[in-house]
């Protein structure tokens, strides 16, 4: 697993105190941007310009793509069952590896108008940097991003031995549980409060839904 995703994994399950519905835009390696709409952990939507969007709602987790001029939704809840026939040992082995360490530096950096502190992330022989902040809105947006990643990861490898509590303790100890920037990874470009309405976090009407588990 690339080192650039490690700070994201460390932020899993952070409790948000912000009440506002948020829209954040990130630049992402390999694509132009990714937009995250976050209302709460049951109302999250991740949009990419060319690949459709991922939706987390009380009804489930879906990926919506355009194919041949039509939009198709894939129910991700059955993904774990589908992958049982494949070897997910590599994912589970990562969970059992040496936990990363995060060390604050004396440097600060401003990203998208938010001031954060630069931290060094070390795991084994690999070292990277991440800019973290304690801004409540950024922390809340981070939680939305990571809630989606967590749900997807659980679908792929539901029995992973990943020690969430240990990782959470590490990131909370920094005092800066919101992510602004990663080396060769995501970078926050903008953040604003919005009111999208409940329909925005639901599947489009009459859309074809396919189950990833084949049921």
The residues with which 126 forms a beta bridge, in sequence order, are 123
Task: Please give the model's pTM, rounded to 2 decimal places.
Answer: 0.76
Domain ranges of the chain: 3-98+136-211
DSSP state of 77: G
Q: What is the pLDDT along the chain (215 residues), one digit of tens a residue?
A: 445 444 444 444 333 344 579 999 999 887 778 999 999 988 999 998 777 899 998 888 999 998 777 889 999 876 555 444 444 444 454 455 667 889 999 999 999 999 999 999 898 888 999 999 999 999 888 877 777 777 776 665 555 544 445 565 677 788 998 999 988 888 999 999 999 998 999 998 889 998 865 54
Separation of alpha carbons 122 and 170, rounded Å: 12
Measured over the CA atoms of residue 152, residue 156, residue 158 and residue 164, the dihedral's sign is negative
- The phi, psi pair for 205, rounded to 5°, reads -65, 145
């Amino acid at each position: 697993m690339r080192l650039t995703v490690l700070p994201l994994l460390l932020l899993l399950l952070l409790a948000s105190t912000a009440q506002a519905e948020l829209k954040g835009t990130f630049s992402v390696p390999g694509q132009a941007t990714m937009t995250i709409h976050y209302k709460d952990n049951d109302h999250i939507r991740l949009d990419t310009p060319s690949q459709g969007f991922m939706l987390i709602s009380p009804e489930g987790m879906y990926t919506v793509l355009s194919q041949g001029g039509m939009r198709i939704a894939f129910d991700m809840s059955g993904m774990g069952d589908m992958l049982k026939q494949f070897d997910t040992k590599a994912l589970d082995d990562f969970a059992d590896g040496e936990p990363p360490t995060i060390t604050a530096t004396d440097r600060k950096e401003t990203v998208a108008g938010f001031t954060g502190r630069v931290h060094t992330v070390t795991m084994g022989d690999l070292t990277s940097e991440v800019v973290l902040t304690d801004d409540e809105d950024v922390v809340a947006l981070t939680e939305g991003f990571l809630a989606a990643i967590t749900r997807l990861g659980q679908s792929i490898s539901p029995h992973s031995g990943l020690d969430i509590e240990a990782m959470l303790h590490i990131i909370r100890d920094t005092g800066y549980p919101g992510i602004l920037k990663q080396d060769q990874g995501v970078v926050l470009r903008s953040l604003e409060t919005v009111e999208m309405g409940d329909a925005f976090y639901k599947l489009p009407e009459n859309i074809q839904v396919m189950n990833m588990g084949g049921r």
